[in-house]
């Protein structure tokens, strides 16, 4: 599978720089920071910038908060579409490499991925549309991930593929100096090919219909 590290500037909205990627449904938001003698202020999520990039407001069904030790990998996770679960994520403490994998069967970028560093220096955020796989590795202890999720967690609709799938070649090794730490569930997750054979992966056309429904409802 091929890595997709290409990105293109999408412009500015308010105090946020927007970047989109060749994988449809992935957007990066870098807010302007305002440091002074008291500390620092930044707004990682700004609705005007989000709507400019995505075409509809962010639906909020749940917020998540995780704390990870250095070397912890979480994911690759995705949800059934419809309705799917989109995520808007940023790192308020520590640093991580966030990886988005296109697991949508029929997508022109199926099996490709993008990797973006998220940290508490720039407060960069990443939007992961419904149907895409999400994962990250913590680069230091006590790294915090903050998630804004479009739908609540639904165990029966949640799935994963192995972050160690050799065919995907996700970039963990270049950021780790030891063995990664995974949950039992993530370590036992199927490869992308096995998940496709089992019919677990989202359908690209179904995802496109879902995105259109969200834009029409805006």
The pLDDT assigned to 8 comes to 53
pTM for the full model?
Answer: 0.92
Residue-wise pLDDT for 169-193, tens only, equals: 999 999 998 899 999 999 999 999 9
State whether residue 199 is helix, strand or coil: coil
Residue-wise pLDDT for 20-55, tens only, equals: 999 999 999 999 999 999 999 999 999 999 999 999
Residue 2: pLDDT band with limits 50, 70, 90: very low
The contacts of residue 16 (CB under 8 Å, 6+ apart) are 29, 30, 31, 32, 43, 46, 49
The pLDDT assigned to 218 comes to 86
The answer to whether the CB of 113 falls within 8 A of the CB of 102 is yes
The pLDDT assigned to 5 comes to 46
Residue 106: pLDDT band with limits 50, 70, 90: very high
Active site residues: 77, 147
| Long-range CB contact pairs, 175-181, < 8 A, 24+ | 175/97, 175/137, 175/139, 176/71, 176/137, 178/71, 179/71, 180/71, 180/72, 180/73, 180/137, 181/69, 181/71, 181/72, 181/73
**Residue 4 scores a pLDDT above 80:** no
């Amino acid at each position: 599978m091929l890595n997709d590290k290409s990105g293109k500037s999408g412009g500015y909205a308010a105090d946020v720089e927007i970047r989109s990627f060749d994988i449809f449904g992935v957007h990066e938001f870098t807010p302007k920071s305002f440091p002074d003698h008291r500390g620092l202020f930044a707004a990682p999520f700004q609705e005007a910038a989000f709507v400019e990039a995505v075409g509809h407001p962010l639906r909020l069904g749940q917020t998540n908060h995780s704390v990870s030790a250095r070397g912890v990998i979480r994911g690759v996770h995705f949800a059934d579409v419809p309705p799917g679960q989109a995520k808007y994520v940023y790192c308020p403490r520590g640093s991580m490499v966030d990886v988005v994998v296109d697991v949508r069967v029929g997508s022109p970028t199926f099996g490709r991925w993008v990797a973006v560093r998220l940290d508490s220096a720039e407060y960069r955020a990443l939007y992961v549309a419904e149907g895409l796989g999400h994962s990250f590795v913590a680069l230091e202890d006590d790294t915090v991930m903050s998630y804004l999720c479009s739908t609540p967690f639904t165990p029966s609709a949640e799935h994963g593929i192995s972050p160690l799938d050799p065919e995907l070649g996700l970039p963990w090794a270049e950021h780790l100096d030891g063995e990664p730490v995974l949950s039992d569930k993530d370590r036992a997750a199927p490869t992308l090919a096995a998940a496709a054979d089992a019919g677990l992966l989202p359908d690209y056309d179904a995802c496109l219909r879902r995105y259109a429904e969200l834009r029409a409802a805006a």
